[in-house]
Amino acid sequence: MNNLYQISSVEVGQHFYWQIGGFQVHAQVLITSWVVIVILSGLAVAIVRDSQTIPTGSQNFVEYILEFIRDLTRTQIGEEEYRPWVPFIGTLFSFIFVSNWSGALFPWKFIKLPHGELAAPTNDINTTVASASLTSVAYFYAGLRKKGLSYFGKYIQPTPVLLPINILEDFTKPLSLSFRLFGNILADELVVSVLISLVPLVVPIPMMLPGLFTSAIQALIFATLAAAYIGESMEGHH
């Protein structure tokens, strides 16, 4: 157990922590995550406050995004079951999308910390694992809520011989979600950082455009897979 504890305490790079009671809080992630939350909350308040019967401008754009998320959720979960899950999928997509873009558009590195440096929330494995864990809780909840304890019968379908593989599948889903998102965002920020350090600032700007596109695609993939897993848990094992 001591060896396992030592392995779990290994860190890569320097990090900035807040000491709250007997706990160490990863401040880098909290700071950038709250910036993203403030942006999303401010946008929501501004749209709701000035909402009109016939949408125009920013309201029209936000309603288009909401319709897109609704259609995505309906496609993956189904016509009868999708409505309660639109807020969850929409929150995941919005948070990950803005987090990803913040890494490319915000000058985080100009904000100096005593240790470590700021970056996009999704540039940290803690954020992506937390998002993937929420997805796991959601699809277990969806399956149990609809099927009760009979939900666990999927693990022995189509044959009990597949029980270990079916159980392993539920562990690999959050791992795949979290590491895919983390790896892509980290790689994109590293490439841009290296280019900026080697050449003038204006040269890496064209390289940031594919990064913005990739960041948007990663948010879409995460939300689509989350909705697909929830739909699968309510329909049965495939």
Q: Render pLDDT for 66-117 as a digit per residue (tens, 0 to 9).
A: 899 999 999 999 888 889 999 999 999 999 999 988 877 776 666 777 766 7
Per-residue pLDDT band at 221 (split at 50, 70, 90): very high
The pTM of this model reads 0.82
Task: Indicate whether 38 belongs to any domain.
Answer: no
List the beta bridge partners of residue 24: 19
What secondary structure letter does DSSP report for 117?
A: B
Task: Indicate whether 6 belongs to any domain.
Answer: no
* Residue-level pLDDT at 204: 58
Task: Indicate whether 53 belongs to any domain.
Answer: no
Task: Indicate whether 44 belongs to any domain.
Answer: no
Task: Indicate whether 174 belongs to any domain.
Answer: yes
Residue pair 142/230 in contact by the 8 Å Cβ criterion: yes
What are the tokens at 94?
A: 């919005």
Per the structure, the count of domains in the chain is 1
Burial of 195 (0-12, 13-18, 19+ CB in 10 A): middle
Task: Indicate whether 28 belongs to any domain.
Answer: no
H helices of the chain, where? 2-8, 27-49, 57-77, 86-105, 125-147, 163-198, 205-235
Residue pair 102/120 in contact by the 8 Å Cβ criterion: yes
Cα 180 from Cα 222, distance rounded (Å): 9
Domain that holds residue 201: 63-235
Write the pLDDT tens digit of every residue in 132-190. Answer: 999 999 999 998 888 888 888 888 877 788 788 888 888 888 888 898 888 888 877 77
Task: Indicate whether 231 belongs to any domain.
Answer: yes
Please determine, for residue 193, whether its predicted confidence score (pLDDT) is greater than 80. Answer: no
* Residue-level pLDDT at 125: 86
Give 85's contacts (C-beta < 8 A, 6+ positions apart): 73, 77, 138, 142, 227, 230
Cα 215 from Cα 104, distance rounded (Å): 9
* Residue-level pLDDT at 85: 93
Per-residue pLDDT band at 55 (split at 50, 70, 90): low
* Residue-level pLDDT at 207: 65
- The residue that leads in pLDDT, 229 or 160, is 229
Task: Indicate whether 206 belongs to any domain.
Answer: yes
Cα 139 from Cα 25, distance rounded (Å): 28
